[in-house]
């Protein structure tokens, strides 16, 4: 069994063309040059490469989901705007109904009715005594 010694600072440095034992270095000479990732995406080379061809269906599925999600967001915003408009219209209708009911109550008061009759010049006089209710028993006695 051959024992290998590791390179330490106490030993003499190795020449530049000799690799130290136990270290792995990539072979730089045969490595293909990488193009910029941004340049590859912008030029469209990413879509043509063979690893990307496997994922076309998944990419289309993700694009479809994104489009559906955007449509869902726009639709929910539209519904929210309509709901706010309906609430505002309901508040206006409630205020209008409250105003009309208060005018109706004030117009149906006895004093307002008599003043309106006098203002219009209608010749109606009020009885000095209130009307009496005649029941069934009183009609039989007469």
Convert the pLDDT of each residue in 101-118 to its tens digit: 999 998 888 888 888 888
What is the band of 19 on the pLDDT scale with cuts at 50, 70, 90? low
pLDDT digits (tens, 9 = 90+) for 49-96: 777 788 889 989 999 999 999 999 999 999 999 999 999 999 999 999
**d(Cα 85, Cα 76) in Å, to the nearest integer?**
14
Give the pLDDT band of residue 31 (cuts 50, 70, 90): low
Predicted confidence at residue 33, as pLDDT, reads 63
pLDDT of residue 103: 92
Q: What is the pLDDT of residue 126?
A: 78
Mean pLDDT of 12-40: 65
pLDDT > 70: what percent of the chain?
A: 72
H/E stretch holding 113 reads: helix 110-120
User: Tell me, what's the pLDDT at 142?
Assistant: 55
d(CA 69, CA 87): 27
* Both structure tokens of 66: 């994104």
| pLDDT reported for residue 5 | 56
Q: What is the mean pLDDT of the chain?
A: 81
Which residue, among 115, 114, 108, 112, has the nearest Cα to 126 in the 3D structure? 114
């Amino acid at each position: 069994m051959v024992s290998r010694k590791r390179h330490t600072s106490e030993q003499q440095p190795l020449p530049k063309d000799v690799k130290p034992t136990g270290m792995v270095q990539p072979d730089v000479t045969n490595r293909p040059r990488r193009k910029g990732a941004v340049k590859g995406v912008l030029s469209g080379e990413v879509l043509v490469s063979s690893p990307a061809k496997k994922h076309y269906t998944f990419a289309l599925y993700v694009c479809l989901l994104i489009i559906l999600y955007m449509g869902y967001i726009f639709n929910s915003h539209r519904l929210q705007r309509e709901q706010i408009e309906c609430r505002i219209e309901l508040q206006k209708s409630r205020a209008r109904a409250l105003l009309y009911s208060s005018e109706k109550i004030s117009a149906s008061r006895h004093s307002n009715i008599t003043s309106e009759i006098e203002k219009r010049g209608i010749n109606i006089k009020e009885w000095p005594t209130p009307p009496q209710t005649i029941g069934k028993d009183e009609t039989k006695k007469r």
